[in-house]
Homo-oligomer: A and B are copies of this chain.
Amino acid sequence: MKMAELVERSGVPLATIKYYLREGLLMPGAPTSATRAEYGDEHVRRLALVRALAGVGLPLPRIKAVLDVVDSPEPGLFAALGTAIAQLPPYPTDDVDERYPRARAAADVIGLTFDPDYPAIAQLEQALARAESAGIPVTPERLAAYGEHAFGVAKYDVEHLPRGREDAVRYAVVGTAVYEPVLTALRRLAHRDLASEMLTPPSDPPAGAWHAGPHDENCGDRRRPDR
C-alpha cells in the first residue's frame, strides 16, 4: 500500500508516521521510486503497537527498547517479556537496597522465584520498604494472602497470552500497563462493598458508634449473590 493508505488504515497522521520513520520506530517501506515506498500489513501492526505503547505513557527510548525485544532474533520469549515489561514504570529509585532483603524474604513466604535480575524484584523491594517507612510494614500473612491472589490473576493473564512474538510482547507490556489500573480500581471498589457490609451498623446507631467489627463472625460467610 502507499503512504496515503497507511495513514488511512492505521489512523495515524502523516506527520506522526514520518516522525516514527525518522526515529526508527517504524521500519522503512520498500522503495518504489526516489520519493515513494510501498508499505505492508506489518507497518499497520507496528504503528498500532507504537501507538499503544505511547498511549500508556512510555517515552520514546523505552518504546524503542520494547520494539527491539519484538525484533530481536533471540529465541526465548519468556526472557524477552521480562525485558519488555521492565520498560514500564515504576522505575526503582537509587535508594533501593540492592541486596533486596525484603523481596527475598517475601519470595520465600510466597514461593516465588527470587531472581535479583528480574526488574520486578527491585520494584517489590521498594514497595515493601515504603510500607515500612509509612509505619505499616507488610506482614508475612498479608504477603501470603496477596501472593495467592497475585498468582490467581497472573494465571489468567499468562493463559491468555497470544501466540506470536509481536502480539505476545504487545499484550504483556500494554496489558500490564492498562490492566494494573483496572485491578487496583476493582480492589478499591471491593473494599467499599466489603467495608459497607462489615462496618455499617445494623440499625439506628448512636452517633459515633462503630458496631460491626472486623472480626464479626457473620461477615466472613456473607457471599455476593452472583459469585
Quickly give the copy total for this chain: 2
Q: Which chain B positions have C-beta within 8 A of A187?
A: 150, 153-154, 157, 180, 183
- Cβ contact within 8 Å between A227 and B75: no
A8 interfacial contact with B, CB 8 Å: no
Residue from the list B127, B175, B186, B192 in contact with A113, Cβ < 8 A? B192
- Cβ contact within 8 Å between A75 and B152: no
Residue from the list B55, B56, B111, B146 in contact with A227, Cβ < 8 A? B111
Residue of B nearest to A209 (CB): B75
- Cβ contact within 8 Å between B182 and A138: yes
- Cβ contact within 8 Å between B131 and A179: yes
Query: How near does chain B come to A103, taking the closest CB pair, in angstroms?
Result: 8
Find residues 74-96 in chain A having any chain B CB closer than 8 Å to their own CB.
75-78, 81-82, 85, 90
A163 interfacial contact with B, CB 8 Å: yes
Tell me the complex Cα distance, A149–B196, Å.
18
In the complex, per-residue mask of A104-118: 1 if CB is within 8 Å of any chain B CB, else 0: 001100111101001
A207 interfacial contact with B, CB 8 Å: yes
- Interface size range of chain A in the complex: 35 or more
- Cβ contact within 8 Å between B226 and A111: yes
A178 interfacial contact with B, CB 8 Å: yes
Q: Which chain B positions have C-beta within 8 A of A82?
A: 192
Residue of B nearest to A215 (CB): B159
Known: A90-B181, A163-B210. A188 touches B156 (CB 8 A): no
Q: Which chain B positions have C-beta within 8 A of A214?
A: 158-161, 163
18 residue pairs of the A-B complex, CB under 8 angstroms, read A52-B136, A75-B208, A111-B224, A120-B185, A124-B182, A124-B189, A127-B181, A135-B174, A136-B178, A148-B227, A149-B149, A153-B190, A154-B194, A158-B194, A163-B214, A183-B183, A183-B184, A183-B187
